[in-house]
Structure 1
Amino acid sequence: MKRVLVIGCPGSGKSTFSSRLSKESDIPVIHLDSIYWKPGWISCSNQEFDEILRDLLLQETYIMDGNYSRTIDFRISFADTVYFFDFSRYLCLYRVIKRRILNHGKTTEYMGKDCPEGIDYEFIKSVWNFRKNQRMRIIKVLEKHEGSKDIVIFRNPKEVNNYFKSFSK
């Protein structure tokens, strides 16, 4: 495990998992949200994001947290390990709302600088429709790479906890 991708629905726990895995493995974590979002929730252009991404993917080791579905195929080609959080929409939506309440007005380490925690209708809609709109595409990409990548699919938080119980450096 040297180049790791962590993908899944917003609210599934990707960033928390990535940070914990980084501590357990001594592999640096890259939160894509902190790269994509400029202060004030201004997104970088696709071209700028792709250039930054290309440089990051050439690093010897990393844990890369974030979906950015437009780039998943490309990023998987560099990875040796992929963790996919395939959680229910209800759990993800609950966690997104909880995170919003607990971090109201704060910028977390996972987000871009000066991007305080927020939530809007479009974001809630994307969480709710993740399984319908993105899940099967991700599953197909993962199936394409079966055998050439270590792929771990978590279907609930208990599986994540059990993974860390068995994890050793």
Structure 2
Amino acid sequence: MKKIAVFGKPGSGKSTLSKNLASVTGIELHQLDSILYKKNGDLVDRQTYDKVHGNILSSDSWIIDGFDRIESFNKRIDVADTLIYIDLPYIVSYWLVAKRLLQSVFVKPEGWPDGSSVFKGTLQSYKMLKLCPKFWNDDFLQKLEEISTSKSIYIIRSISELSSFIRNNVK
């Protein structure tokens, strides 16, 4: 595990898992939201993002948490040696997004960009969840299966599997 891509639906625990992996492995964590957004919450321009993303991908090791656009996602999938897909049921994802909003009253969510509104982000997460079935589907799982011979792939489908993965891989 040197180049690790962690991805899945909004609110699935990607940031928490990635932070734990980075802590244990010493591999630098790059949360996409921190690359996509400026400190004031505005989006960075695409050229700047692509340059930063490309520099990360060309480094010796990394953990990248998030999705972004399909082009950059596909580049990560190609370069990564380890893929961790958190595929929780939709009802769980909707609940975790709501829970993140409620908890944000007291503490900034894990991996949340400085200056970004948690409320606006929550609305965006709900919009993304509604669109997710168009991408996170059987065709995507088949693509993962096709590349599984050359990469380590973990598919996590429940909170208990997520907890077990952390227990067994993040020591």
Question: TM-score when scaled to structure 2?
Answer: 0.87
Partner of 1:31: 31
Q: Which amino acid aligns with 1:125?
A: K
Unaligned 5+ residue runs, structure 2?
none
Give SS of 1:44's match.
coil
- 1:47 Cα deviation from its structure 2 partner: 2.2
Q: Quick one: structure 1 residues 44 and 141, their matched pair in 2 at CA, closer, same or farther if it must change by over 3 Å?
A: farther
Q: Which moved more, 1:37-46 or 1:16-25?
A: 37-46
- Choose the corresponding residue for 1:124, options 118, 123, 126: 126
Matches within 5 A, 1:10-159: 10-70=10-70, 71-104=72-105, 107-108=108-109, 110-119=111-120, 121-130=123-132, 132-136=133-137, 138-159=140-161
- Local SS of the residue matching 2:119: coil
Deviation per CA, 1:94-115: give whole Å up to 9, x if none: 1111111111386445122222
SS state of the match for residue 30, structure 1?
Answer: strand
Aligned residue for 1:161?
163
Aligned length: 168
CA contact (8 A) 2:97 2:125 kept: no
Distance 1:122 1:114 in 2: 16
Change in 2 beyond 3 A, CA 1:50/1:146: same
Shift of 1:18: 0.4
Q: Partner letter of residue 92 of structure 1?
A: S
| Shift in CA distance, 2/122, structure 1 to aligned 2, threshold 3 Å | closer
Shift of 1:69: 3.8
Taking structure 1 as the reference length, the TM-score comes to: 0.88
Provide the aligned C-alpha RMSD in A: 2.1
Structure 1, gaps ≥5 residues long = none
Aligned partners of 2:127, 2:100: CA distance in 1, in Å? 16
Instruction: Report if the CA contact (8 A) 1:154-1:160 is conserved.
Output: yes
Identity %: 27
